Structure 1
Amino acid sequence: MIAQVFLLAGVPAMSAQAQQADSKQSPEEFARCLEQLGQTAVQAGVSEQTASRVVAGVKKVDRVLELDRRQPEFTTTFDDYLNRRVNQDRIQKGRELLQTHRQLLQRVTRETGVPAPYLVSFWGLETNFGAYFGKMSVPDSLATLACDRRRSEFFTRQWVAALQIIDEGAIPAEQMEGSWAGAMGHVQFMPTVFLKHAVDADDDGRRDLWNSLPDAMMSAGRFLESMGWDGEYRWGREVLLPGDFDYSLADGRKLPLAQWRQHGITDAFGNPLARADISAALIVPAGHRGPAFLVYQNFGVIMGWNRSEFYAIAVGHLADRIAGAGGLQVPPPRDLPALSRQQILELQQALENQGFDPGPIDGILGSGTRSAIRQFQQTNNLVADGYPGAQVLKMAGIES
């Protein structure tokens, strides 16, 4: 799921005409692009033998372009997202694997500072503990995307990195399989991330994230360490908010725990927050009716792996459950509708029309849109939780 980092980055969608034009790329045009990709790889240090061999075997995959173009019709609710990913089967399997690979995981923790439950959690969310890596040829997928103008520069870098990985002997080109966007192995590294952070932890002379669990787990730990993982603290925690809480504070600001205590926040069981010298931000992913979380620095590190707050909460919560913790004290409400992209587009436009800046009108419920919703709620005497609930949609004139 590292591939999701750029999928969630708010890249503007191409026009229908541009998409149609790219889909009509002729075989001759693709062949010329592929030849140029081979030359680019050689210029970056890939051997001519490797570049020629890989280029000769590459095929354009129209299915990859279809997946790249496809936008989900509806957004996912937090309840649906979390319950699909943090379920009893995954929790139990994670606990079993925590014991089975305890020696390896303890070694990774000693060397990187990342606790074992988090490593297992990432592994579970990325590939269901190695059950599914993806079945698409990475060279084919990356060449197809690099020759498509929408994100050619990004995928050309990934293509070159993939050939460098092949050239170093990590894996033969014909065995390099992964997601449609090129994410690979147990922990779904993109090729550029592989080059920078993958390690040979089993000392067999190869960085093998497909067949070597030691390599995969140590690489994941090194990647998280490089982004600033703090082994002294957890990712965050569920908290309880007082009935009169000012939800406008859940806007991403970081405050010391002492200040959150002053605002009446307790832990999930009603106990006072610890007096640790640490700052945290408050997140209410399902609005004021759902669970609330205070998140620390490591939450931001998880977001460096995947820029989705839902994903980062799922990683942290699954890690807690694998370590033996129970479920959420305040479960996400199940009656919240999944909004369509069209509804979000209409909401963004309505907010902008009323003077509340949602950022790009792109149909994505990002931080800018939530900030605009919060301002709209404050103006209209609603709970300012930044969530597009039924009242917000109704007052904005959006059919729910």
Structure 2
Amino acid sequence: MRGAAILWALLIFLHTAGAATAQSAPCGGPFPDFVDGLKREAERRGLDPATVERFFANVRQDPDVIRADRRQGVFQLPFVEFSRRLISQNRIENGRRNAQRHAAVFDRIEREIGVPRGILLSFWAFETDYGAVQGDYNTRDALVTLSHDCRRPGLFRPQVFAAIELYAQGDLDPDGTTGAWAGEIGMVQMLPRDILEHGTDGDGDGRVSLKTSPPDALLSGAKMLESLGWRANEPWLQEITVPRGFDWALSGLEGTRPVSEWAALGVRGRNAPLGPGALQASVIAPQGRLGPIFLAYPNFNVLFEWNQSFVYVTTAAYFATRLEGAPIYDAGTPEPGLSGDRMKALQRKLAGMGHDVGGVDGILGAKTRIAVREVQARLGLPADGWPTPALLDRL
């Protein structure tokens, strides 16, 4: 689900913002006192006091939400293993069936917004298995619990007030609405504020029903992607090959250049021609130069606004290409990676050398990849950003 994925993996931005967040959004302390503070703030925001009281009447702190928030092991998996876990033949077949079943909705979205069906089907699959598994955590309790927890209150506190607004509009039942552990609701897992801003009635019944109406959920998800900067009718990810002797120091999401320049360097599409030459793009190798290699276009970066995990976004983007007809990637023979504990050891070592790794968490995030690439270049190794036991031993 998007909740489990997106909010386990807000690792980069939220780690650095944590201290300031804690000051700007009070957290912790006795739970009843904290709830009273939320009520006062809701009223200061102009929300009806009686509505606020009813919203919080039966609120409770949910320890299961905190336990779910602390689980991050799945994001320590390398790309090939992670993608093989998420992409099953059943998900592919169900994706194709849903593409046919809701063809009119997808046609409308592609015509009016320019978000391709593969992208929406991919997130629909990964977040809720096409609506089958939407989560059974009470949405209000989850949001209030995570607002009280001092790890990321600045992310969740505004969602509480958005949930109150949804309640006032008749679109959320404080005691009955359920979803993901991090407060997302519906088939494509949207937070309350996203629903307020982008929720769309796709089936024309006068309601926005993200839990039960695929047209509502898909159109709302597309509107959100559009607001995040999705560029209509442009590619997002493409499997490529690179020539022998390719300079891996040029790779990584920060190594952006026009497609025409990549072509001049010998980059080729593995299964189809490269995108328009003027488009900016980056060469990414999720498991190093010996594993799958992709060209990431500007729309790929937009997906990080939906979910901050590199391995999740790459897998979702790749799955979207599969649903649109691309063949299975060439897995290659990647070098062994690092376990969670050894990844933490590497991150500590890199941090001690002055690199910003975004936190010692055992997850190969964007900042750790950049630091690895810099160290590899300094040691005269192929700078593909993939940390191996050999690299850790060298350090």
- Asked if Structure 1 and Structure 2 have the same fold, meaning a TM-score greater than 0.5 normalized by the shorter chain, the answer is yes
The Cα of 1:272 is off from its aligned counterpart by 6.2
Partner of 2:225: 224
What are the residue-to-residue correspondences of 1:150-299 with 2, within 5 Å?
A: 150-251=151-252, 252-269=254-271, 273=274, 276-299=277-300
The question of 1:42 aligning with 2:40 is answered no
Corresponding letter in the other structure for 2:360: D
Q: Deviations over 1:183-218 (max 9, x none)?
A: 111110111211111112223332221112111111
Corresponding letter in the other structure for 1:161: A
Partner of 2:343: 344
Distance 1:231 1:179, change over 3 A: same
Q: What is the rounded CA distance, in whole Å, between the counterparts of 1:64 and 1:274 in structure 2? A: 43
SS for the counterpart of 1:174 is: coil
Q: What is the rounded CA distance, in whole Å, between the counterparts of 2:273 and 2:235 in structure 1? A: 17
The question of 1:357 aligning with 2:359 is answered no
Distance 1:53 1:210, change over 3 A: same
Q: What is the rounded CA distance, in whole Å, between the counterparts of 1:287 and 1:126 in structure 2? A: 27
The Cα of 1:12 is off from its aligned counterpart by 4.5
**Higher Cα Rg: structure 1 or 2?**
1
RMSD: 2.6
The Cα of 1:6 is off from its aligned counterpart by 4.6
Runs of 4+ more than 6 Å apart: none
The Cα of 1:338 is off from its aligned counterpart by 5.1
Paired residue total: 383
Q: What is the rounded CA distance, in whole Å, between the counterparts of 2:225 and 2:123 in structure 1? A: 11
Q: What is the rounded CA distance, in whole Å, between the counterparts of 1:157 and 1:274 in structure 2? A: 39
Q: Deviations over 1:10-37 (max 9, x none)?
A: 34499xxxxxxxx996xxx212222222
Corresponding letter in the other structure for 2:371: A
Distance 1:235 1:272, change over 3 A: closer
Corresponding letter in the other structure for 1:336: P
Distance 1:356 1:287, change over 3 A: farther
SS for the counterpart of 1:237 is: strand
Corresponding letter in the other structure for 1:266: R
Q: What is the rounded CA distance, in whole Å, between the counterparts of 1:208 and 1:362 in structure 2? A: 40
Distance 1:343 1:244, change over 3 A: same
Q: What is the rounded CA distance, in whole Å, between the counterparts of 2:377 and 2:255 in structure 1? A: 17
The Cα of 1:137 is off from its aligned counterpart by 0.2
Partner of 1:18: none
Corresponding letter in the other structure for 2:364: L
SS for the counterpart of 2:152 is: helix
TM-score by length of 1: 0.88
The question of 1:383 aligning with 2:382 is answered yes
SS for the counterpart of 2:151 is: helix
Distance 1:24 1:35, change over 3 A: closer
Q: What is the rounded CA distance, in whole Å, between the counterparts of 2:229 and 2:157 in structure 1? A: 28
The Cα of 1:257 is off from its aligned counterpart by 1.3
Q: Deviations over 1:201-236 (max 9, x none)?
A: 223332221112111111011011112222231112
Q: What is the rounded CA distance, in whole Å, between the counterparts of 2:49 and 2:110 in structure 1? A: 40
Distance 1:203 1:43, change over 3 A: farther
Q: What is the rounded CA distance, in whole Å, between the counterparts of 1:57 and 1:250 in structure 2? A: 52
Q: More displaced, 275-284 or 286-295?
A: 275-284
SS for the counterpart of 1:282 is: strand
Q: What is the rounded CA distance, in whole Å, between the counterparts of 1:274 and 1:140 in structure 2? A: 46
Unaligned 5+ segments in structure 1 are 15-22
Partner of 2:61: 60
Q: More displaced, 203-212 or 237-246?
A: 203-212
Partner of 1:302: 303
Contact 2:138 2:175 in 1 (8 A): yes
Unaligned 5+ segments in structure 2 are 19-26
SS for the counterpart of 1:239 is: strand
Q: What is the rounded CA distance, in whole Å, between the counterparts of 1:358 and 1:156 in structure 2? A: 28
The Cα of 1:337 is off from its aligned counterpart by 4.2
The Cα of 1:301 is off from its aligned counterpart by 1.4
Q: Deviations over 1:39-69 (max 9, x none)?
A: 3223333333332222111111112122223
Contact 2:236 2:296 in 1 (8 A): yes
Percent of aligned pairs sharing the same letter: 33
